[in-house]
């Protein structure tokens, strides 16, 4: 049943219906703000597709020369400090600092590992630290994720507006890389300190998990990051 529904892309079709209805009939935020958000999301999706296509070719180059690249981009600052700046949403400062090494080295950095680049990279615990595992994690599963950290983020959220929320927190689902997610649909808009609007949309059920928008905001985080996913549900349980 799940496979049939994925072929029918029921959750994605439902998303576009809800998005259209919100655009036409909901006035908060206004249509111009929504349109600006839609354009940014299309841009992010195109970048994600490009990153997914190029990362398998560029990541091996970064891996082979990772010591030289790291010595260049982290000449005046450590990777730990860069990570702290990104976590505090100081992405403009990060980009300015990394670009001091030159556009080529910065571009190669965007395909590499932001965490512990000369050791394990972003490998989860329990996985052997070798090229194949790091390639699968950083070039296939999470291609060019450094650009996501820098370019796909919101500002500090100051306002929210709920469009749909049918979530049942007593019944949750999960899949590979996705923890407990409440059953139902949630669609919310958020405004940041720069007067820009962003949304997060989730449709979780016992068959599939679909999400698009700026994740983290439903967990009361003050900053979100754009992500998109459609996965088969691996487990469901009552809480």
Looking at the domain assignment, is residue 9 inside a domain?
yes
Looking at the domain assignment, is residue 55 inside a domain?
no
Domain enclosing residue 78, as ranges: 65-151
pLDDT at 4: 56
Domain boundary among 151, 172, 187: 151
> Cα separations (Å) of 159 from 19, 28, 32, 169, 186?
20, 11, 17, 23, 16
Decide: helix, strand or coil at residue 150.
helix
Domain boundary among 101, 116, 151: 151
pLDDT at 3: 54
Domain boundary among 151, 183, 215: 151
User: 130 and 73, same structural domain?
Assistant: yes
User: 202 and 146, same structural domain?
Assistant: no
Bond prior to 29 in cis (omega within 30° of 0): yes
- Name 208's bridge partners: 232
**Mean pLDDT by groups of 10 residues along the chain of 239 residues:** 63 95 92 95 94 95 95 91 90 91 94 91 87 93 88 92 96 86 96 95 94 89 89 90
Looking at the domain assignment, is residue 56 inside a domain?
no
Residue 8: how many CB atoms within 10 A of its CB?
A: 10
């Amino acid at each position: 049943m799940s496979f049939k529904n994925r072929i029918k892309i029921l959750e994605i079709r439902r998303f576009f219906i809800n998005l259209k209805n919100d655009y036409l009939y909901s006035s908060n935020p206004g249509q111009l703000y929504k349109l600006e958000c839609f354009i940014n999301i299309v841009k992010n999706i195109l970048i994600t597709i490009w990153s997914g296509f190029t990362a398998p070719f560029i990541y091996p180059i970064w891996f082979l020369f990772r010591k030289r690249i790291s010595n260049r981009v982290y000449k005046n600052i450590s990777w730990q400090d860069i990570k702290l700046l990104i976590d505090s949403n100081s992405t403009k400062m990060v980009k300015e600092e990394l670009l001091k090494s030159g556009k080529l080295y910065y571009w190669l950095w965007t395909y590499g590992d932001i965490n512990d680049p000369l050791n394990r990279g972003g490998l989860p615990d329990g996985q052997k630290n070798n090229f194949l595992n790091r390639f699968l994690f950083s070039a296939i599963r999470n291609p060019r994720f450094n650009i996501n950290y820098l370019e796909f983020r919101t500002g500090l959220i100051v306002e929210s507006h709920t469009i749909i929320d049918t979530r049942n927190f007593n019944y949750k689902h999960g899949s590979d890389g996705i923890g407990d997610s409440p059953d139902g649909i949630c669609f919310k808009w958020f405004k940041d300190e720069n007067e820009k609007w962003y949304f997060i949309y989730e449709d979780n059920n016992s068959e599939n998990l679909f999400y698009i928008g700026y994740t983290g905001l439903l967990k009361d985080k003050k900053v979100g990051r754009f992500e998109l996913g459609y996965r088969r549900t691996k487990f469901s349980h009552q809480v």
